[in-house]
Structure 1
Amino acid sequence: MRGSGRLHHPPRYAALLKPSSPSFSHSSWLAGSRSDPDAYIGYVFLYFYGLERRLMLQENVPDADAVVAEVRRLLQVYGGNGSFKRYAGELLSAYQLKSAQLPEKLDLEVEENSYEIPIMLKVALGIRVRSGDAIEPDLLLAYVLADPETRVRTPARRAQTLLRQLFAEAVEKQYPNGMRVPAAGVRKLKVNYRACSGTFDLEIRPFGGDLPDITNRGEPIGGARRIFDDCTDRLDDYSRMLGRSEGLKPTLAAVAQLPLGLRVKNCEELPGQPLSQLQELSNDGALISIRQLAVLAGMEPDKIAARAKQKDLSGILAAFGYGNTADPSFSLKSAKPDELAMVFGLEREAEANLEPGDHYRPMLLSIMLGMVIAFADGLLHPLEERRLFGKIDEAPGLSRDERVRLKAELKVCAADASRVADWTKRIGDVPEDRREDLADELVAIAVADGTLHAREVSQLEKLFRLMDLDQNSLYLRLQGSVAPQNRPRDGNDDLPLVIPAGIQPPSIPVSPAPPRTPATRVDVSRLEAIRRETRSTSSVLADIFLDEAEPPIELQPAIEEIENGDAPFDGLERRYAWLLLQLIEQEAWTASDFERLVRGADLMPGAAKQALNDWSLDRFDELVLDGEDPVIVNASLFSETTPQSPSLTVSVEGMSA
């Protein structure tokens, strides 16, 4: 502050007469532009006293408009001083009342918890009461804020715009026809203006003393204050979340704490448009890591590994109508930060954290065990996926959102087969009275693509053991599992059993094959007819069990070594090579002997016959097996004139399917 001395507040003119007074500095300030914001505020008050007397004590002031304009200018420069701001505002209001020059629109910006209700606020309220008009929400809120008894908490200060919106909605809901106060019995407004200088008082009677004053009554201020407090409470969570963000800048996590009607609108100006990104992720079915999802929501990505934080993340997304597959309330375990998840749309925005219904977890376990079977062959076939989707659609007791969530879980697992491995550990959670039904469904999934893979059979056997179900019941189910709509539409009514490379019985001895004779031209149409015949439905999985009463077939001893040459079984997996080596020892086999021999190789009759004939057609353009009972073996394809093949020694023992 400038000047050689200081005036006491409130400053007095008499102080200027003292020898040590800073009169020169005050005079310099008056002579200047009176716009220095660093000037001593006492100089401003002394100048203001003169303007106050001119407006309030003189009648018909010719330059009144200029004086009013000067007071407003001083407010802009020195309004940072609370005392000056209050006194200058009261002067302007009092002059408007005295001169009956009310503005078309009253200024409703008030200081909270004023010492008393501002004059113009009283006037605005009185005008509405006298005319019978409703008190609009903004005016009512200004009244509440200015009342000395109102407690204004941090959320109301931190989110003023949102508070105004909530307050207006609440008032309109509680008073659909507007808040009106009857004028009868209300005292009249009297304004007693006490000068800032303390040198005079002036009584003003607005509108001839006929303006009601409701500021001394218990209502409407009591009801309005209750609405205000309720709106402040509804902003508590938003205010706390906003306080954690850098620079008090709103994030998706903060906006999610707002009441439902304010969320979407207040997301429009968030940096990066996170709500639009969520919508794109949901529409595209795209995958995103949990860490990236946390960044999108405005959370700290380094802390998202904690289960509680993942639950918070899910709550934030649900507040805008989105779910995610990493929600720990629905998942088997917490996700790792870099683990991928899928975002999907919910039926509506959620007001609280989502929780699964009674039917969700059993169905999730059933679906995931189905995925274990579907992935046993290393590939989720579209028909298998369709079967699982259909199971979800038909499941009773699930909500619309739970069905969407299950399908999203399935898609995420389809992108990463390793996610389903842990579900076999939960098979003990399947109730005993549900295990037979689950077994039926697992078999149906295994054959949904029209192909029964050996790994699928092996995985089914494992699950049946874990559920304490009879292994024989698995084979009975497999026998009747292939429905016509699941079979290939190429004339092949059999269900092929596919044995992948790497799953082969070790040490199968293969005898030397005769030299290959020149290929004979065949009737292609007749060959196709024979081929279809060998794939008849009756041999799909017929009669799984062996008749214990029939004597076992004695297998030929393994040939320890075959000399080098062209391999007659080239391209044939070892278990089939071993089986074919046994079959070519006879020209014909009865159906029962053929079945026992095939099962001795841990294969199924229909599928084995098809596999051998397919290989033979590709290699020799002829069938190696023909007929049903007996089964004729075309051993001439392996005559002794065939150059000898390299030795192939395999042990029959320990052969696995």
Structure 2
Amino acid sequence: MFLYFYGLERRLMLEESPPDADGVIAEVGRLLQVYGGNGSFKRYAGELLSAYQLKSAQLPEKFDLEVEENSYEIPIMLKVALGMRVRSGDAIEPDLLLAYVLADPETRVRTPARRAQTLLRELFAEAVEKQYPNGVRVAPAGVRKLKVNYRACSGTFDLAIRPFGGDLPDITNRSEPIGGARRIFDDCTDRLDNYSRMLGRSEGLKPSLAAVAQLPLGLRVKNCETLAGSPLRRLQELASNDALISIQKLAELAGMDPDKIAARAKQKELSGILAALGYGHTADPSFSLKSAKPNEPAMVFALEREAEADLEPGDRYRPMQLSIMLGMVIAFADGLLHPLEERRLSGKIDETPCLSRDERVRLKAELKVCAADASRVVAWTKRIGDVPKDRREDLADELVAIAAADGTLHTREVSQLEKLFRLMDLDQNSLYLRLQGSVAPQNRPRDGNDDLPLIIPAGIRPPGIPVSPASPRAPAPRVDISRLEAIRRETRTTSSVLADIFVDEAEPPIELQPATEEIETSKGDARFDGLERRYAWLLSQLIEQETWTASDFERLVRGADLMPGAAKQALNDWSLDRFDELVLDGDNPVIVNASLFSEATPQSPSLTVSVEGMSA
């Protein structure tokens, strides 16, 4: 084949205006199609065609910018294209500049640039236009002239070619613009690094939402349009319809492994993927009380814009979230979330200052999720101690207003209010004083219903609720305190029946062995291989519950003769080595990633310690 090629080469380059030149060029093109897989032949054939175009002054209208990366030297026609821009004073367009960078022997072309060539070209063009708003231009003054010396593939002759009579600039020996262009190229490659890495984990290098979410901001949404199954459209439908979806299915939609979504770190990763595409969900562990179970329903909602970093709650979000959830506890006390109660809670979210638009939308979404499952709000009563003392009176006013919002006051609502007042260390009598402004004194109905009708503003008439609009001239109604006391006594009588639903069970004390002078050990638990026995014992106690207050965590750790900070670091180092995830997260509360041990057979290592301030 090469001997045949030598003849074609001599025909084109050594004969002046050969009559069959077009046929010879076509034959070289045919050979390229057949033997183009041979890198050496491909290079020689390409140089022959380029040299003949220069020799015959038959330059193409559009230059082929598909170049081999890291060439031994810059291709002839690329030099010619650059020289023509410099000679005419035109700007070097981004695609030509990128071809120059790729062909330069000193350019390091990394994997992201190979995997995502189309995205790289788009990013590169955008960056060049931003850095050079007037285009990349090179003054021809002082630039050497292009000299082309064609060396035959056969090695039997050399031929000097002077394009345009030897008056074409050659900028390939200058430090600019190649230096600036290479810096832009390297920066664009870095911006595609996370996308390339995520793409490499997928089967067949198929992109997913998880991969597209790693792209720079302007490229994410439009690159989702070509994904199989239209996952972004599915997210839009979920958000528009306020539909519920399990965390496991949401992870699958995002292109993650649904079987690993129980881990807190994976749930945070899922939240980051959705946020990067402009969506949030109610099970985000940065905002929720605890990690969600894989089959736990969540609601997707649209954010104001695509996030460039992981979302974190603002200073006012946590107090407002706790206030809303405690309001839900009261609203659900009578077994039903009334539309007027829901309106009251939603209005409170709208009226609260210092909340961002996305935080308001998130709280309303949480309100809807809890409305579908009342059991979700019960755990929030354990966090009532987080309410600052100077905010408890205001919260008490709001809770009473929520209880009265539906036009009736149920004895179970009074019971819940009494409980929350006790937990906030508020005077019980202040509860009844607050109720005076809400409840109208009326006789108990004879149908067995123990609801107390309220006077509510005219114009709001919820169906099925007895309402007595107050006369504008009548004095303010007052409550019969003795009657409320009777209701309270009756409430205590029935509370034993309702306790399982509306009263949190006391958390079981941490069971420890009687104190001894030395640490006893037993056979190790396979779940904790690689841990010292006292660390293994500590971890076996910690995974019994998902969260620990800072004080309880410290007492438990010190009871094992360990320092809290050092113990937390040691357990997390061990967990990262074994599971590639943290086992402990947060400071107050300390969150335990117990899902790491869910598939292991429990076999608690025994350790006898004495813990000051805790029951043994």
CA contact (8 A) 1:110 1:142 kept: yes
| Alignment correspondent of 1:436 | 393
- Deviation at residue 481 of structure 1 after TM alignment: 2.5
| Alignment correspondent of 2:103 | 146
The equivalent position to 2:124 in structure 1, one of 162, 167, 172, is: 167
Where in structure 2 are the equivalents of 1:138-287 lying within 5 Å?
A: 138-287=95-244
CA contact (8 A) 2:411 2:488 kept: no
Question: What's the CA shift string for 1:223-282, capped at 9, x where partnerless?
Answer: 000000000000000000000111000001100111111111111110111111111111
Residues 602 and 290 from structure 1, CA distance in 2 versus in 1: closer, same or farther, beyond 3 angstroms? closer
| Alignment correspondent of 1:542 | 479
Is the counterpart of residue 376 in structure 1 residue 313 in structure 2?
Answer: no
Q: Partner of 1:379: helix, strand, or coil? A: coil
The CA distance in 2 between the partners of 1:152 and 1:469, in whole Å, is 68
The equivalent position to 2:258 in structure 1, one of 283, 290, 301, is: 301
| Alignment correspondent of 2:356 | 399
| Alignment correspondent of 1:89 | 46
Is the counterpart of residue 452 in structure 1 residue 409 in structure 2?
Answer: yes
Comparing 175-184 with 147-156, greater Cα deviation is found at 175-184
The CA distance in 2 between the partners of 1:270 and 1:375, in whole Å, is 43
Cα RMSD over matched residues?
2.8
Question: What's the CA shift string for 1:201-227, capped at 9, x where partnerless?
Answer: 111000100000000000000000000
The CA distance in 1 between the partners of 2:237 and 2:470, in whole Å, is 52
Amino acid in the other structure paired with 2:107: T
CA contact (8 A) 1:454 1:497 kept: no
Where in structure 2 are the equivalents of 1:313-462 lying within 5 Å?
A: 313-462=270-419
CA contact (8 A) 1:494 1:539 kept: no
The alignment-based identity, stated in percent, is 82
CA contact (8 A) 2:210 2:256 kept: yes
Amino acid in the other structure paired with 2:83: G
| Alignment correspondent of 1:105 | 62
The CA distance in 1 between the partners of 2:442 and 2:82, in whole Å, is 87
- Runs of at least 5 residues in structure 1 that lack an aligned partner in the other structure: 1-43, 483-492, 505-530, 547-594, 609-650
Amino acid in the other structure paired with 1:434: R
| Alignment correspondent of 2:520 | none
Residues 384 and 208 from structure 1, CA distance in 2 versus in 1: closer, same or farther, beyond 3 angstroms? same
The CA distance in 1 between the partners of 2:149 and 2:211, in whole Å, is 47
The equivalent position to 1:122 in structure 2, one of 79, 84, 99, is: 79
Amino acid in the other structure paired with 2:271: S
CA contact (8 A) 2:414 2:488 kept: no
Residues 600 and 131 from structure 1, CA distance in 2 versus in 1: closer, same or farther, beyond 3 angstroms? closer
Structure-1-length-normalised TM-score: 0.70
The CA distance in 2 between the partners of 1:90 and 1:499, in whole Å, is 104
- Deviation at residue 534 of structure 1 after TM alignment: 14
- Deviation at residue 56 of structure 1 after TM alignment: 0.6
Amino acid in the other structure paired with 1:188: K
Residues 500 and 307 from structure 1, CA distance in 2 versus in 1: closer, same or farther, beyond 3 angstroms? farther
Q: Partner of 1:134: helix, strand, or coil? A: coil
The CA distance in 1 between the partners of 2:256 and 2:280, in whole Å, is 17
Amino acid in the other structure paired with 2:258: P
Question: What's the CA shift string for 1:431-471, capped at 9, x where partnerless?
Answer: 00000000000000000001001110000000000001110
Q: Partner of 1:342: helix, strand, or coil? A: strand
Residues 105 and 653 from structure 1, CA distance in 2 versus in 1: closer, same or farther, beyond 3 angstroms? closer
Question: What's the CA shift string for 1:103-159, capped at 9, x where partnerless?
Answer: 111111000000000000000000000000000000000000000000000000010
- Deviation at residue 542 of structure 1 after TM alignment: 1.8
CA contact (8 A) 1:602 1:656 kept: no
Q: For the pair shown, which has the larger CA radius of gyration, 1 or 2?
A: 1
The equivalent position to 2:11 in structure 1, one of 30, 33, 54, is: 54
Residues 441 and 212 from structure 1, CA distance in 2 versus in 1: closer, same or farther, beyond 3 angstroms? same
The CA distance in 2 between the partners of 1:500 and 1:314, in whole Å, is 51
- Equivalences, count: 482
Is the counterpart of residue 64 in structure 1 residue 21 in structure 2?
Answer: yes
Amino acid in the other structure paired with 2:46: G
Q: Partner of 2:235: helix, strand, or coil? A: helix
CA contact (8 A) 1:454 1:499 kept: no
The CA distance in 2 between the partners of 1:457 and 1:110, in whole Å, is 79
Question: What's the CA shift string for 1:389-423, capped at 9, x where partnerless?
Answer: 11101111101110010000000000010100100
Residues 71 and 306 from structure 1, CA distance in 2 versus in 1: closer, same or farther, beyond 3 angstroms? same
- Deviation at residue 500 of structure 1 after TM alignment: 11
Structure-2-length-normalised TM-score: 0.75
CA contact (8 A) 2:411 2:487 kept: no
Q: Partner of 1:327: helix, strand, or coil? A: coil
Q: Partner of 1:192: helix, strand, or coil? A: strand
Residues 192 and 495 from structure 1, CA distance in 2 versus in 1: closer, same or farther, beyond 3 angstroms? farther
The CA distance in 2 between the partners of 1:187 and 1:477, in whole Å, is 91
